[in-house]
Amino acid sequence: MADRWFGLGWAVLGTAIAAESWRMDRLEQQHINPWTVPGLVPGLLGLLLVVFGLAMTFRRRAVSVIGDAPAADDTRAEPWRVALALVLTLGFGFGAIGTGLPFGLVCSAFIFLAITLFEWPERRQAGTLARGVAIAALVAGGSALAITTVFRDVFLVRLP
């Protein structure tokens, strides 16, 4: 069922790309060869997306799919981990860096939060929360210092 909706989604996206390519300037005032118009390849790609999307929608059986990353037996994606990973990383990338705060500080705060929160359930169960927090603080401080020093002073890179 999901295949059908995805297929339709790709077909709609492909149509939008093809339509936008068709509307694209054909540079006629520059007298270019009509076979080299900028919208030609994106337009064809849009049509290909439509074909593949429709093939996905109308094929008889859904293909069982495994991800391209081989997963270990003992691993399984957990929704709260997915949400937390997205919130932390996107929050760090879009919200924290480039705001004027020192990069080392933001970096260590991110690493500390990530380690602490992801290890929270296991640490709480094992009764080692305080130890976990201390280790996270140590790792966060050390790695932030190492990353900022190496990039700024060794690779001579400006930090965000």
Partner 1 sequence: MFSGLDALGVSLVNFLNPTALAYTFGATVLGIVVGALPGLSATLAISLLTTLTIKLPPNDAILILICAYVGAIYGGSRTAILLNIPGTAANAAACLDGHALARKGEAGRAMGIATSGSVLGTLFGLLCLALFTPMLGEVALSFGAYEFFWLALLGVLMSGNVVAADPVRGWIAGVLGIFVACIGQDGLYAHERFTFGSTDLAGGFQLIPVLVGAFGFSEVLVVMSERAARPAIASFGSALPRVGDVLRHWKTILRSGAIGTGIGILPGVGEDMAAWSSYAVAKRLSPEPETFGRGSVDGLMAAETGDNAAVPGAIIPALALAIPGSAPSAVLLAAMIIHGVQPGPMLMVQNPAFVYQVVAMVLVATLAILVFGLVMIRPLLVLLRVPRTVMMPIIFVLCVVGSYSIASRLFDVWVMLGFGAAAFLMRRFGYPVAPFVLGLVLGDILDKNLRRALTLSDGDLTPFVTRPISAVLAAIAVFVLLSNVPAVGAALGRLKARVLPSTGGAA
Write the DSSP assignment of 83-141 as a string of letters.
HHHHHHHHIIIIIITTSSS-HHHHHHHHHHHHHHHHHHHHHHHHT-HHHHHHHHHHHHH
Give, as ranges, the residues between 32 and 71 that touch partner 1 (CB under 8 A). Answer: 32-36, 38-42, 44-46, 48-49, 52-53, 55-56, 59-60, 63-71
Shortest Cβ 153–partner 1 spacing (Å): 13
Choice from 97, 129, 133, 137 touching partner 1 (CB under 8 A): 97
Question: Does 159 sit near partner 1 (CB under 8 A)?
Answer: yes
For the chain, what's the residue count?
160
Choice from 8, 129, 137, 147 touching partner 1 (CB under 8 A): 147
Q: How far is CA 84 from CA 96, 111, 127, in A?
A: 16, 13, 22
Give, as ranges, the residues between 67 and 96 that touch partner 1 (CB under 8 A). Answer: 67-78, 81-82, 84-86, 88-90, 92-94
Question: Does 20 sit near partner 1 (CB under 8 A)?
Answer: yes
Per the CB < 8 A criterion, the answer to whether 92 and 106 are in contact is: yes
Choice from 87, 98, 131, 145 touching partner 1 (CB under 8 A): 98
Q: How far is the C-alpha of 46 from the C-alpha of 72, rounded, in Å?
A: 37
**DSSP-derived 3-state class of residue 9:** helix
Shortest Cβ 62–partner 1 spacing (Å): 9
